[in-house]
């Protein structure tokens, strides 16, 4: 079942099994089978919660994952699991779950809507998804990303369908920066029509496109994913070996006298380590200053926004409508409209004032210092390499393999989108971060359940008896507004605290990323000095023994490289 709003509340895994069954895995580590007909209810967020406050329902759930096993899942027969996860533009907590899954996923399917093709948010998400799947080769298209454009049956004309296909093709298969590997990674389907054809055993115009998608996915999982995993693994191992060999070369040069650091060069290394440490301190100090300035500005802006909010919402209240005559349904309509109005205003304040006016200049300032500092470190390491014959620059870049930091991209802030990752850390990435989940969802609060369970519903008392319907609606509208405003003010401190918490964490993470790079640079400089001192005290015999050992290890690494090349040739032939 597909709804107009995102309703994936729980991580769901589809697996092949000899019999159909559904198993819930709970937060306390236990698991239990549930009736098959309860699967949909457990896997989805209730429609009412999705409209008002999806986070409210998720916090009440103890389910971590639902595993569905079925003998008809032929695609999963050969140890394939299909994971239905929350999107990357929903609540940050569920986004984090999806990001962790992507680290180990063999393939990802990006589901797009043909009726709302390639919004700014979708474009950003696709670029972000491609970057996650091609960490070691950011300039290459993603080989394991499938783009599935659904709801093609809802387009009015053949021309509309052709325009949607052209729009996706131009973006996905862009010659300068393609998103996916080839044409068989993008498919235009109607999942509902394909399902109907399967259930009725009567093929329709959408049967073949969906079959093509399944076939392409099957081919990848059965044939291509092994090749991709092998190539990626071999590439990582060879880069790792290259880094070790570079270290061997530098140590051998020290042992054999080809690399002998003069006192001036050693002092230069010490000075460079001190300079890098100073840059790290400067980044941290600026981070603290910018956080303080940001929070002070946000606090002032929040108070000003609160003062104007009542008047703004009163104007919006005049446009509230309901077609219901039952009092509880009237309350529900007005509660929904109040939450929608206040969420829109909060969205607007977060996007325009917090993000654009307050945070963006400060993030840009910190990012500029980080980029300048990285350029300075790179320049100084290169200068040492040229003067002393070392290879510190190359070692520094290889040292970052384990933490997924692409040093070259970081040297040019314009070469990558959101180079520091700040907006992703904050949960405001792209054009759909807040808009998709709602501002109240972003800060983790919801008013709708409160209004229905403990607020306006309590006004349905005898004093309304004998009044005409319009009067009842007017009084309920006022009561919904007053109660909603009261509850929002009660939670306003918690809302601003949550925002402050996220901003501080995002700035901290940004500074920490630079700290890790700076620490690697200092460690290499100190290691080289330490090697120089140790070797200078060794006897000739000791040096010859160590040199011979390094040569032996280098030959062994070379044999491993040759074996990897042969393995790759045989496996990929």
**CATH number of the domain encompassing residue 82:** 3.40.50.300
* Higher local confidence (pLDDT), 546 or 481: 481
Same domain, 220 and 309: no
User: In this structure, is residue 552 part of a structural domain?
Assistant: no
Q: Is the pLDDT of residue 219 over 60?
A: yes
In the three-class reduction of DSSP (H, G, I as helix; E, B as strand; rest coil), residue 239 is classed as helix
Q: Percent of the chain having pLDDT more than 70?
A: 69
Cα 464 to Cα 327: distance, rounded to the nearest angstrom: 10
pLDDT of residue 174: 82
If you average pLDDT over each of 200-204, 448-452, 531-535, 541-545, which comes out highest? 200-204
Same domain, 361 and 266: yes
Task: Give me the number of domains the chain comprises.
Answer: 2
User: In this structure, is residue 572 part of a structural domain?
Assistant: no
Cα 259 to Cα 388: distance, rounded to the nearest angstrom: 7
Mean pLDDT of the chain: 75
CB atoms within 10 A of CB 172: 22
**Cα distance between the two ends of the chain:** 43
Paired residues of 330 in beta bridges: none
| Domain boundaries, position 531 | 260-537
User: In this structure, is residue 6 part of a structural domain?
Assistant: no
Same domain, 180 and 304: no
Q: Is the pLDDT of residue 162 over 60?
A: yes
Same domain, 360 and 495: yes
Cα 195 to Cα 202: distance, rounded to the nearest angstrom: 10
Cα 478 to Cα 459: distance, rounded to the nearest angstrom: 11
User: In this structure, is residue 568 part of a structural domain?
Assistant: no
User: In this structure, is residue 564 part of a structural domain?
Assistant: no
| Residue 415: both structure tokens together | 């070469």
Q: Is 366 left (phi over 0), alpha (psi -120 to 50) or beta?
A: alpha
From 374, 156, 301, 134, select the one nearest 231 (Cα to Cα): 134
Cα 548 to Cα 567: distance, rounded to the nearest angstrom: 29
User: In this structure, is residue 569 part of a structural domain?
Assistant: no
Cα 202 to Cα 196: distance, rounded to the nearest angstrom: 8
| Residue 537: both structure tokens together | 């005290």
State pLDDT tens for residues 296-312.
999 999 999 999 998 99
| Residue 170: both structure tokens together | 């131009």
Q: Percent of the chain having pLDDT more than 90?
A: 12
Paired residues of 83 in beta bridges: 13
User: In this structure, is residue 562 part of a structural domain?
Assistant: no
- Per the CB < 8 A criterion, the answer to whether 259 and 250 are in contact is yes
pLDDT of residue 298: 92
User: In this structure, is residue 245 part of a structural domain?
Assistant: no
Same domain, 219 and 274: no
State pLDDT tens for residues 393-402.
776 765 554 3
Determine which of 29-38, 173-182, 335-344, 533-542 has the lowest per-residue pLDDT on average: 533-542
Same domain, 466 and 399: yes
Same domain, 287 and 206: no
Same domain, 186 and 222: yes
State pLDDT tens for residues 552-569.
777 877 887 777 777 677
Same domain, 122 and 212: yes
β-pairing verdict for 31-34 and 108-113: unpaired
Same domain, 138 and 60: yes
CB atoms within 10 A of CB 362: 20
Same domain, 264 and 157: no
């Amino acid at each position: 079942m597909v709804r107009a709003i995102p309703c994936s509340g729980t991580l769901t895994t589809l697996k092949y099994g000899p019999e159909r069954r559904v198993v819930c895995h709970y937060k306390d580590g236990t698991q239990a089978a549930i009736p098959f007909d309860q699967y949909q209810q457990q896997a989805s967020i209730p429609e009412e919660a999705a409209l008002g406050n999806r986070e409210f329902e998720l916090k009440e759930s103890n389910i971590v994952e639902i595993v569905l096993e079925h003998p008809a899942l032929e695609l999963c027969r050969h140890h394939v699991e299909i994971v239905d996860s929350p999107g990357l533009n929903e609540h940050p907590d569920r986004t984090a779950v999806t990001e962790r899954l992507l680290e180990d996923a063999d393939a990802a399917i990006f589901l797009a809507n043909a009726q709302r093709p390639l919004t700014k948010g979708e474009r950003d998400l696709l670029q972000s998804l491609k970057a996650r799947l091609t960490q070691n080769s950011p300039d290459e298209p993603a080989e394991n990303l499938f783009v599935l454009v659904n709801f093609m049956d809802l387009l009015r004309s053949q021309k509309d369908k052709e325009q949607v296909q052209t729009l996706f093709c131009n973006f996905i298969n862009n010659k300068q920066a393609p998103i996916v590997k080839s044409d068989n990674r993008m498919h235009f389907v109607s999942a509902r029509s394909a399902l109907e054809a399967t259930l009725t055993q009567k093929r329709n115009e959408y049967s073949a496109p969906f079959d093509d998608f399944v076939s392409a996915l099957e081919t990848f999982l059965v044939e291509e994913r092994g090749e991709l995993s092998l190539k990626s693994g071999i590439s990582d191992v060879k880069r790792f070996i290259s880094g070790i060999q570079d270290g061997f070369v530098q140590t051998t040069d020290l042992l054999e006298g080809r690399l002998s650091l003069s006192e001036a060069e050693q002092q230069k290394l010490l000075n460079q380590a001190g300079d890098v440490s100073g840059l790290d301190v400067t980044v941290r100090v600026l981070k603290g200053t910018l956080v303080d300035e940001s929070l002070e500005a946000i606090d002032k802006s929040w108070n000003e926004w609160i003062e104007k909010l009542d008047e703004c919402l009163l104007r919006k209240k005049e446009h509230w409508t309901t077609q219901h005559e039952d009092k509880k349904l009237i309350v529900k309509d007005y509660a929904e409209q109040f939450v929608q109005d206040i969420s829109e205003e909060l969205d607007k304040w977060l996007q325009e004032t917090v993000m654009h006016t307050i945070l963006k200049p400060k993030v840009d300032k910190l990012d500029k210092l980080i980029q300048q500092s990285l350029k300075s470190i790179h320049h100084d390491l290169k200068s040492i390499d040229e003067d002393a014959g070392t290879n510190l620059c190359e070692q520094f870049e290889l040292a970052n393999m384990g933490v997924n930091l692409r040093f070259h991209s970081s040297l040019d802030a314009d070469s990558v989108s959101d180079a520091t990752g700040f907006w992703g850390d904050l949960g405001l990435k792209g054009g759909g971060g807040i808009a998709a989940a709602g501002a109240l969802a972003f800060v983790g609060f919801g008013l709708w359940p409160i209004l229905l369970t403990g607020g306006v519903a309590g006004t349905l008392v005898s004093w309304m008896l004998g009044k005409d319907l319009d009067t009842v609606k007017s009084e309920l509208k006022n009561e919904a507004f007053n109660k909603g405003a009261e509850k929002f003010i009660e939670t306003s401190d918690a809302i601003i605290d949550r925002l402050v918490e996220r901003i501080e964490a995002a700035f901290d993470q940004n500074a920490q990323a630079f700290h890790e790079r700076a620490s690697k640079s200092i460690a290499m400089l100190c290691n080289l000095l330490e090697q120089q001192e140790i070797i200078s005290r060794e006897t000739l015999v000791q040096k010859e023994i160590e040199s011979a050992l390094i040569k032996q290890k280098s030959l062994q690494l070379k044999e491993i490289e040759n074996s990897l090349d042969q393995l790759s040739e045989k496996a990929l032939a």
